[in-house]
Amino acid sequence: IQIGTSAPFSITLSKYAPGLLTVTTGSQTIVSATHANGSLVTASSPVTPGETMVLFATGLGAIDSSGHPTSLPTVTVGGLQAKVLAAVVTNPGTYQVNIQLDITTPAGNQPVILAIGGASSPAVPMPVASVPFITEVDNGASFLPGAVANAYLTIKGGLLSSVTDNWDHTVVNGVLPTTLDGVSVKVGGQPAYINYVSPDQINVVAPNVPAGLATVTVTNSVGTTAAFTTTASVYGPAFFQWYGGDGTIYAVATRTDYSLAVKNGTFSITTVPAKPDEVIILWGTAFGPTNPPTPVGVAAPSAAPTADPVTVTVGGTPAAVYTGHAVLTQGLAAVYQVAITVPANLADGDYPVVATIKGASSPTTTILTVKR
């Protein structure tokens, strides 16, 4: 036995040498990754556009005392930039990289490339699903989770539609469409009335679903989403929103002549805020049943007051509500008007405007500007 020393072998040390770990199933090698729930990404369990997931990598360089690399890598999937949420060492030399895919990531085996410090990993394929999916279901005015019968509902997700369109050209004699460009929606097993479609968002008027848990599905030419469970309610009052340049959420409000009652500067045109003791109209949805009842699935054939009274406060001060009720707008679907008199004693300022019906209140984050 002869024991000795090998000849020197030269290597190059780099600050970064990014590489993605892989797994092989059958004859296919794909990136080593897991879904957010910890299950493995495979050809039979692909990721979906917009999904949050985990990649496993090496060569991301030095780490700090918490195990994080000194800078975040970047990741592209199918040529689209993914959002990198975090990166941390899990085992010596192995990094866990949390990412969220772009909502428009194409289907199929898409190349994943990780880059850091000017160095890039070789591309490794990852299976991306081709069926539509839902990520959230919200009130169509407050954008809080949940659905309200016969009210606007916003559905967010991915691959929901191949086009962007609205129902303007499909409403005939006031009858609302249950399909639009090959897209249909069911809420609680009943067809919804589709107002707007796009790849990542659909707006509908919910059918007359009972209160309680309800499933929501979207169907288009490539498939049907997994059922998304939400909570349906009879009431969920909310005012439609305008967004100020500073991020303030203003209630959609007009005067009786339909001029806009909102802080000047919110839009490119000049607007005049509401004045104390002035009558204005607030516009919203999800104020519940009317008396007499309004037919489902059609634009309101006539103005109809809510079956229950409505109260409104502006900055905590009660405002007089005309007739004491919200009124479903004639010729529109699921759109209510609430006519109030702005409290006369309010000083100039921005105030939360809150409507309450049958114990349910609209969000306190919606603002009405008052200026003398």
CA atoms within 13 A on the CB side of 139: 27
The lowest-confidence range among 8-12, 114-118, 286-290 is 8-12
SS3 13: coil
Does 28 score more than 90 pLDDT? no
Does 98 score more than 80 pLDDT? yes
Does 275 score more than 90 pLDDT? yes
Specify the pLDDT at position 25.
78
* Reported pTM: 0.74
Residue from 90, 24, 18 nearest 54 by CA: 90
| Residues 237-246: tens digit of each pLDDT | 999 999 998 8
Token pair, residue 140, equals 């169509």
Q: Please give the average per-residue pLDDT across 271-290, as a whole number.
A: 98
Please answer whether residues 34 and 40 qualify as being in contact, where contact means their C-beta atoms are separated by less than 8 angstroms. yes
| Residues 353-370: tens digit of each pLDDT | 999 999 999 999 999 999
The model's confidence at residue 222, banded by pLDDT at 50, 70 and 90, is confident
Specify the pLDDT at position 340.
98
Specify the pLDDT at position 236.
98
| Residues 138-197: tens digit of each pLDDT | 999 999 999 999 999 999 988 899 899 999 999 999 999 999 999 999 999 999 999 999
Name the residue with tokens 């008052």. Answer: 370
Residue from 152, 351, 352 nearest 237 by CA: 152
Q: Please give the average per-residue pLDDT across 318-342, as a whole number.
A: 97
Does 48 score more than 90 pLDDT? no
| Residues 295-326: tens digit of each pLDDT | 999 999 999 999 999 999 999 999 999 999 99
Specify the pLDDT at position 3.
86
**DSSP string across 78-129:** TTEEEEEEEEEEEETTEEEEEEE--TTPPSEEEEEEEEETTEEPPPEEEEE-
What residues does 220 pair with on adjacent strands?
223
Specify the pLDDT at position 1.
77
Q: Give the mean pLDDT of the chain.
A: 94
